[in-house]
Amino acid sequence: MSPLRPTRREFLAATVAPFGARSFLPSSQSLPITPRNRAARATTYLPDGTAVHTLRQLALAAVDAAKSAGATYADVRLMTMRDSFVSLGFVGDRPTLFSNTSSDFAPAFFPPRATFDVGVRAMVGGATSFAYSERPTIDAVTEAAKHATASARGLAGHLRMPLEMVHAPVATGEWETPIRIDPFGVPLEEQVDLLASYDNVVRRIKNGSVSLVGTGFVWYHKIVVVATTEGTLVTQGWRYGGLFQRVQGRQGVSIVELDGGDDRLPIRAGGYELMLDPAGHDRIMRRTEEAVRLASYPPSVLDVGRYELVTGGGATGHFLGSLVGAALESDRALGYEAGVGSGSYLGPPSAVLGQQLFSPTLQLSSSRLPSAPNGAQWDYEGVESTCTPLIERGRIIDYVTTRATASALRSWYERSNMPVQSNGNAGIATAINVPLPSHGHLIMAPDAGGPATIDALCAGVSHGVLLYDPGPMSVDAQLSSAFMLPSALMFEIRRGAIVGRLMQNGLQLRSRNMWGRSLKQIGGARTIGYTFADAAKSQLDSFSVEAPAAHFVDVDVTRTGVE
């Protein structure tokens, strides 16, 4: 590229060229887009969702029905979701546009949606029950409310320990993700042209290419109404989406694949303006160049043993979310999830809270604040969102809680002069799920004086491993240990420099050791990376994690396969 950076208009004019060779993707002019749909928007094809005022009416009707049926407490969640998906790829050598918002294009990987769900949780005599419906009618939601209340009444006489729903202030109001450009209103033609420009950036790099997944945008608009018998009625709208693109670097038979969006979250809160960042093309170019560079390292293999380990920010976050974040969900630590094979080595809370179990360099918090990548004003119980400190200098000081689990920590909260209340971390995947403790955005604090780059962290390693991008990982039911398969993107380090790519080695991790005595150094703020961690519970979505690079010692390296 010229040292003088072109304007965005000039850049698009240069990169969105008519399709003439396999090495470049086309612009919308050369794709089979008919005149009728050239200026079409996602809203042209998506079915209408349930109106917000209707959602509120249904929520109030369900709450009234539960109360009239005898519920001492009830809460209701109604959710409607719309999505738009558009992707560029190839079928053989022919450029193809995939979309779930237009029948004129090739079939999408999933159909367009405008879904509706409602879930009602009712309490009678300390017992709770839950019922749901997928029909947006008064009859359907009131029937669900009555069914939940009747079931709770039937369970009330068989409880050994009634559930306490801790107090929460009554909340009313509305909140929506602030956006500047509604992606559902952006013409598909414009989206296609921008996607083509992203792909052309990659294909201009020698030995660079785009993976078979292609390059695409996905956009979501989710509206949730929460109502309770105590008077809470809140309405929230989440707008999120982004670019999905996997770039490849190839050197001979060696291929390295990375996310095109650098270490930022590919899906995050915002509108189409997320894609109009002038630095976006440069980031994709640098990421492709990095993939080509990493592919140039020769294959290497380590003997089984213990080695030093340097993790990039995204890899640190992957381990942190799976082995520490999930273990700090209060329902796991209290044993409530034991029946479905989900426990926590950080339990019971009475034996863990206040104890320094990890390195004093570890500082951890969980945020659902509106400023977080997937934050909001309130959680899914209508409790105001907070940023909750969980670990201070290696010491466990709290868990993520809901109104249904916070009372179990009463003794600790009272001794610590903390209010006995939910810290606003109730989560769900859809409204047909019961709210459970869940992180919104898990944050590991960087070391203010720590190394500014991964290279600086590697400089102190005499012989070890750099984990650039983690692979599939198997975690035990208590989250106390994990095994990472050899498919991860790992490299051998000797005397502070990368000397080869590890294709046959995996990692065996023990949670307490890894985040305790093995954690030697944490990187500075410039090493922070972002990733998503699997909630490992079907009722919850994955949560985002923000973490710096890190340096560990005495990590078990395994070896599989044959040379």
Give a yes or no: residue 151 inside a domain: no
Give a yes or no: residue 215 inside a domain: no
Residue-number span of the structural domain to which 501 is assigned: 300-559
Give a yes or no: residue 329 inside a domain: yes
Task: State pLDDT tens for residues 407-433.
Answer: 999 999 999 999 999 999 999 989 999
Count CB neighbours of 22 within 10 A. Answer: 10
How many domains would you assign to the chain? Answer: 1
CA distance 149 to 120: 9
Cis peptide before 162 (omega within 30 of 0): no
96 within 8 A of 108, measured Cβ to Cβ = no
SS3 of 364, please? Answer: strand
CA distance 142 to 135: 11
Task: State pLDDT tens for residues 206-220.
Answer: 999 888 777 888 899
Sign of CA dihedral 372, 376, 381, 387: positive
CA distance 525 to 18: 42
Give a yes or no: residue 474 inside a domain: yes
**The pLDDT value given to residue 43:** 62
**The pLDDT value given to residue 51:** 87
119 Cβ neighbours under 8 A, 6+ residues apart: 76, 77, 130, 131, 132, 144, 428, 431, 432, 433, 434
Query: Both ends of the chain: CA-CA distance in Å?
Result: 41
Exposed, middle or buried by CB within 10 Å (0-12, 13-18, 19+), for 34?
exposed
Give a yes or no: residue 330 inside a domain: yes
**Which regions of the chain are under pLDDT 70?**
1-48, 89-113, 261-264, 341, 535-540, 561-563
Give a yes or no: residue 212 inside a domain: no
82 within 8 A of 52, measured Cβ to Cβ = no
Q: Dihedrals φ, ψ of 272, to 5°?
A: -65, -20
CA distance 489 to 558: 15
Residue tagged 């502070």 (tokens): 496
- Nearest-CA neighbor of 263 among 31, 65, 545? 545
Give a yes or no: residue 520 inside a domain: yes
Give a yes or no: residue 197 inside a domain: no
**The pLDDT value given to residue 504:** 93
User: pTM (2 decimals)?
Assistant: 0.88
- Residues paired with residue 559 on neighbouring β-strands, in sequence order: 505
Q: Dihedrals φ, ψ of 130, to 5°?
A: -140, 140
Q: Compute CA distances 513 → 394, 516, 545, whole Å.
A: 12, 5, 21
315 within 8 A of 322, measured Cβ to Cβ = no
359: which 2 tokens? 């390195």
